[in-house]
Amino acid sequence: MGAEVVEVDCDLDWTFPNYNPNTEDHAMLSAMAEAVRKSGAALALGFDGDGDRCGVVDDTAEEIFADKIGLILARDLAPRHADARFVVDVKSTGLFATDPVLKAAGASTVYWKTGHSYIKRKTAELGALAGFEKSGHFFFNGPLGRGYDDGLSAAAAILTLLDRHPNQTLSELRKALPRAFTSLTMSPQCADEAKYQVVDKIVDDYRALAAAGGSILGRKISEVVTVNGARVALEDGSWLLVRASSNKPELAVVVESARSEDDMRALFRNEVKPRLARVAEVGAYNQEV
């Protein structure tokens, strides 16, 4: 490729979906970005303490979340593998369902439960080509891999991708993706003994709204995925998610707009936040868009 590759390895916890500029997540990504700026590297690869996750910063020092890296990889792999199937967690970008490159290649994507063990199991169960979990776990089945999450295997897949596209930088491959405006993960407080019942109520609300032909900010609901909370897909490719945290007394909320940053904020401020505000058990958010 003609450019140095910088690997930044440290023990910080950098779970992408809970990104917050005041946490150690940002410290590792910032260190990777700074290494790229100083060296002019083609990218930086970061690995967590036990080596099963891989984080990526591109040649412009831009952090790329794992679901978007997964989509870049899927775009490269799908035309090379007939009827390719991918598995991603419900917090991942909706572009997997709408991307024209994947559609043209006949690829399909299953949205499944958040958590690396869930994605690993579903990827194996379906015989999917690959699974991508937004916190940085990548799973490749044969002929690409053996189905387990390994940061170095993910890094090798990314480098192979770049080798197959010698005339494009990673940032150019990122910019070639359709636009999507994704929020950070917002977590309102909700007691462990109440959070699953609260999510069940929200699931029922959105199912009923969809069944009645209702809309959200002027858009019809195209699908309500309920494998892990309520992931509500809209007709223009935008979506929203409300699920229970698996390990904290809180909910997890993510929204993504196919239109604009302002629309992404509106999906939260004008739809999800007021809906959850009607539930007494839901408390203050850790962060908001």
Q: Give a yes or no: residue 72 inside a domain.
A: yes
- Strands 215-216 and 230-234: what pairing? unpaired
Residue 94 lies in a domain: yes
Residues 138 and 207 in one domain: no
Residue whose token pair is 């699953």:
196
pLDDT of residue 18: 43
Last residue of a domain, one of 150, 171, 206: 150
Residue 142 sits in the same domain as residue 193: no
Q: Is 190 a member of any domain?
A: yes
pLDDT of 48 reads 86
CATH number, domain at 94?
Answer: 3.40.120.10
- Residue 62, in any domain of the structure: no
Give the residue ranges of DSSP H helices in 44-181: 66-77, 95-98, 100-104, 116-126, 151-164, 170-175
The model's pLDDT over 201-247, given as tens digits with 9 standing for 90+, comes to 999 999 999 999 999 999 999 999 999 999 999 999 999 999 999 99
What is the domain extent for residue 127?
A: 67-150
Residue type, 46: G
Domain closes at, from 105, 132, 150: 150
Residue 6 reports pLDDT greater than 90: no
pTM comes to 0.90
Domain count, the chain: 2
pLDDT for residue 98: 96
Residue 157 clears pLDDT 90, i.e. is over it: yes
136 with 207, same domain: the answer is: no
State yes or no: pLDDT of 1 exceeds 90: no
Q: What is the mean pLDDT of the chain?
A: 91
Structure confidence at residue 30 as a pLDDT band (50, 70, 90): confident
Domain membership of residue 107 (yes or no) is yes
pLDDT tens per residue across span 240-269: 999 999 999 999 999 999 999 999 999 999
Domain end among 150, 172, 193: 150
Confidence band, pLDDT 50/70/90 cuts, at residue 281: very high
CB 224 within 8 A of CB 230: yes
Does residue 205 lie in a domain region?
yes
134 domain residue, yes or no: yes
